[in-house]
Amino acid sequence: MTNDTPMKLDSLWRGAHAATMKNGLYSVIENAAIGVVGGRIVWIGEEKDLPDYLTQQEQDLGGGWITPGLIDCHTHLVFGGNRAGEFEQRLNGVSYQEIAQQGGGIASSVKATRDASEAELIASAARRLKSLMADGVTTVEIKSGYGLSLDAELKMLRVAGQLGNDFPVTVKRTCLAAHAMPPEFKDKDDYIDYLCETLLPKAAKLGMADAVDAFCEGIAFSTEQVARYFKTAEFLGLPVKIHAEQLSSLGGTAMAASFKALSADHIEFIEESDVKAMAESGTVAVLLPGAFFTLKETQRPPIDLLRQYGVPMAVATDANPGTSPALSLRLMMNMSCTLFALTPEEALAGATIYAAKALGIADTHGSLEVGKVADFVCWEVESPGELSYWLGGDLLKTRVYQGEKK
């Protein structure tokens, strides 16, 4: 830029290297500088190339690495109670299914969530949200799915929205009403009818869901039932996502791809034809190593096939009280490397740019590029690979949300 008028910035950030994650790669800028106006990045490059500028706020980050703010694209952060007791039972040899038959499992979280007040749900979810934020998360997706009635699902979605108002974090809300069977219904098709006729239209009309999700599994809903529910979502203009092929291969992923699903999540049991369908529909593969680990699964998602077909891979916590009580997205990045053989670069792309794509917000979030929202983190590390290397710990130095230190 050879312009006589200096560029006017709200803030200028310098003093660290940046892994911008442009195109899903580190795309490193050494000795980077980032100029922000109105919460958006207006300039990014090497500090030595900075044109003349004026700003009220110049911040020296004091070394380390800057990355995009982390994006947790799959969580069930809002729920009543917890299931630590079931964890102990499982360690003593009681199976997940036996626990479910005794009224535990998802049903116990549904009861506790229905019984909890909004204030109680906000307070318990806020603690979990703060853990994610302290470890670099600036955008989080939160699903409903422990309400399973109009009132209780809307309560969960309202709580999720309130968390986004109360904290410096962007919340994307997903309606997962097709998660399990509520006790009032005996027949799965009847419940799906209720979701299509009543619950989804109401949630859409109130603008309380950014997307719609379903659990497609033998213990939950069939491919046909989920397809019917997705048709309603499509009619209402809501994008879809799916929990599929986690424990068995039912064809949910390929069906979801036919609806141009934003993402198919878990997907341990997908086959080559599913991967091909995902590549064609632009569906992101969301890997959830926390649930894989907790359930002691052995079938890994087919990472090589996903790479071969160029399907973008995201990594998320799946934070939930049953199968993934995970509160660090960085730990999930580590586990995606250790358990699924992702590279640390793929893991970081999976928690930034491809997580943004899984939420349909990659045009504004997930990488450090001009025009994008200025959500970024400066870490006390010597290389970006360290983010996937440490198991936990406190690496965050500075967290910037929409251009402000928060």
Contacts to ligand DI6 by CB under 6 A: 105-106, 109, 179, 215, 243, 291, 320-323
Residue 322 contact partner, candidates ligand DI6, Fe ion, none, CB within 5 to 8 A by sort of partner:
ligand DI6
Nearest approach in angstroms of CB 83 to ligand DI6 is: 7
- Which of residues 86 and 318 has its CB atom nearest to Fe ion in the complex? 318
CA distance 406 to 404: 6
Residue 323 contact partner, candidates ligand DI6, Fe ion, none, CB within 5 to 8 A by sort of partner:
ligand DI6
Site for Fe ion in 223-282 (CB under 5 A): none
Residue 215 contact partner, candidates ligand DI6, Fe ion, none, CB within 5 to 8 A by sort of partner:
ligand DI6
Nearest Cα neighbor of 71 from 285, 386, 282, 350 is 350
- Which of residues 64 and 147 has its CB atom nearest to Fe ion in the complex? 147
Nearest approach in angstroms of CB 246 to Fe ion is: 9
On the CB side of 154, how many CA atoms lie within 13 Å of its CA?
14
- Which of residues 302 and 321 has its CB atom nearest to ligand DI6 in the complex? 321
Nearest approach in angstroms of CB 8 to ligand DI6 is: 48
- Which of residues 11 and 323 has its CB atom nearest to ligand DI6 in the complex? 323
Helices within 167-222 (DSSP H only):
188-194, 200-205
- Classify 124 as helix, strand or coil: helix
CA distance 151 to 171: 20
- Which of residues 268 and 318 has its CB atom nearest to Fe ion in the complex? 318
* Contacts of residue 330, Cβ cutoff 8 Å, sequence gap at least 6: 70, 135, 136, 351, 387, 388, 390, 392, 395
Tell me the one-letter amino acid at 17.
Answer: H
Q: How far is CA 222 from the centre of its chain?
A: 24
Residue 109 contact partner, candidates Fe ion, ligand DI6, none, CB within 5 to 8 A by sort of partner:
ligand DI6
> Would you give the end-to-end CA distance of the chain in angstroms?
31
- Which of residues 109 and 253 has its CB atom nearest to ligand DI6 in the complex? 109
| Site track 305-324 with Fe ion (rule: CB under 5 A), x = hit | -------------x------
Residue 211 contact partner, candidates Fe ion, ligand DI6, none, CB within 5 to 8 A by sort of partner:
none
Nearest approach in angstroms of CB 369 to ligand DI6 is: 33
Q: Where are the beta strands (DSSP E) in 73-190?
A: 137-143, 170-178
CA distance 367 to 86: 39
* CB-based burial label for 338 (10 Å; 0-12, 13-18, 19+): middle
- Computed on alpha carbons and rounded to an integer, the radius of gyration of the chain in Å comes to 21
Nearest approach in angstroms of CB 109 to ligand DI6 is: 5
Residue 114 contact partner, candidates ligand DI6, Fe ion, none, CB within 5 to 8 A by sort of partner:
none
Total residues in contact with Fe ion, by rule CB under 5 A: 1
CA distance 233 to 31: 46
Report in angstroms the alpha-carbon separations of 179 from 107, 188, 226, 319. 11, 11, 10, 15
- Which of residues 27 and 82 has its CB atom nearest to ligand DI6 in the complex? 82
- Which of residues 72 and 318 has its CB atom nearest to Fe ion in the complex? 318
Beta carbons of 111 and 79 less than 8 angstroms apart: no
For residue 60, list its beta bridge partners: 14
Residue 105 contact partner, candidates ligand DI6, Fe ion, none, CB within 5 to 8 A by sort of partner:
ligand DI6
Nearest approach in angstroms of CB 3 to ligand DI6 is: 53
- Which of residues 64 and 289 has its CB atom nearest to ligand DI6 in the complex? 289
3-class DSSP string for 267-283: CCCCCHHHHHHHHHHCC
Does the protein bind Fe ion through residue 213 (CB under 5 A)? no
* Site of interaction with Fe ion (CB under 5 A): 318
